[in-house]
Structure 1
Amino acid sequence: MKKYIAVLLLAIAPGVTFSQDTSPGGSTDVSTNIPVLSQYSDRFNVRNVYFNKRIDPGGKGEILEVEFFLENLKDDPMEVYVFTIATFEKKEKTRSSLERPVPPEERLRTFVPFPWDISNFTYPDTGRDGKARKDKDGNELVKLVKFPKNPKAGVDPETGKAYLLKDKLFIRTTHMSLYRRNYFYFNELAILVFDSDGKPAYRQLFQIRGKRGR
């Protein structure tokens, strides 16, 4: 019997970042216009978002299945690029100003995008001066951001091309959280949709309830 997961829509939430080491090398100047608020489109709707959790048949972890429909609100077909990003994010227990904020490097525990290309979400971790930060060994630090560097990578896995939205389009993605020490399942899911030019058209975050941690 399938186990259903309740979802709660988050109306406003910024992207969350995570720092990790990378090999030494030249700095990469990457600038993005990353939305921090929910974003909707007057050209299509995202409907019937459904989450299901199941155990990986190979015993490697737990899988989050994501399903939803895109509904075309216009008369003409359109091409879109779609991403879903499943994460586990440690958050403050209360909103009290007296509570110590969770450090950025400890906030993001799991980050699994679809399509799977983690490098598409990896950005240089820069300081206020705009320069790349480095660790004690001189390695440049990077961060994970819920916004792809290449929006046109969000293609239909069956065709290798942009999704073609005529009337209604069914989207299904999967995300695996691997078993490990200090295991965390997902507690948040982002849906991102870009238009045919690669411009942001839709962004919404969902909180996943029914998560299990170890």
Structure 2
Amino acid sequence: MTVAPLPRASRRGLSREAADLIREAILAGRFPPAAQLREVELAAWLGVSRGSVREGLALLEREGLVHSVWHRGTTVIDVTAQDVEEVYGLRAALDRLAATGAQQNATADQLAELDTLVDAMSREIGGEASGTRLLALDIAFHDRIYDAANNRRLVDAWHAVRSQVHLFQLRRITLGYEHYRARVVDEHRELVALLRSDDRETLARRAEEHVDSARRGLLTGLRPAP
């Protein structure tokens, strides 16, 4: 069988690196929701070509983290009530599957790693707590649960919304840090305890309630004061 030649692979190392660095800056709060992302400025900042930046932004758009409009440029996605309902509704279903899968498949070392992350959250709160550092531990905790579930397609689905979840949680912290700070350790410690139990029904319910608590907290902050 004769096969037509395939097109040559393009070198995408710089564009992926640009995407990683821009994503990191967005999730560190340097570019808030709805902020304009200008190719010329980003290229100078990163020391790469505008083409690499443009390709990197296209990768972030596929993640749902930025939005491009012809002749109007690229912006970090805004956080609207509809966005929150859609993203957190999907996340609740995914987290439920991840938690019950991890309950069945997690190793002792993976559960111990979750304990370590919760302890790190507690120390962060006990010191001069940084919302961005606390959130990074929170996201890492859920990454480990998805890994422990041992379901590659579920992990792929999580990564499809992970950046949006991270950005929305960052917005939640900005609008109501004390609400987040007061709950983050206890809720995650309870999830680890349930992962070690045989109570699948309670774990599934609490995994969804954990997400719903975040959804309600963010929506409350987004609503204008009466």
Same fold (TM over 0.5): no
Q: Pick 1 or 2: higher relative contact order, CA cutoff 8 A, min separation 6.
A: 1
Relative to the length of structure 2, the TM-score reads 0.21
Relative to the length of structure 1, the TM-score reads 0.22
Which is greater in Rg? 2
More strand, by proportion? 1
More helix, by proportion? 2
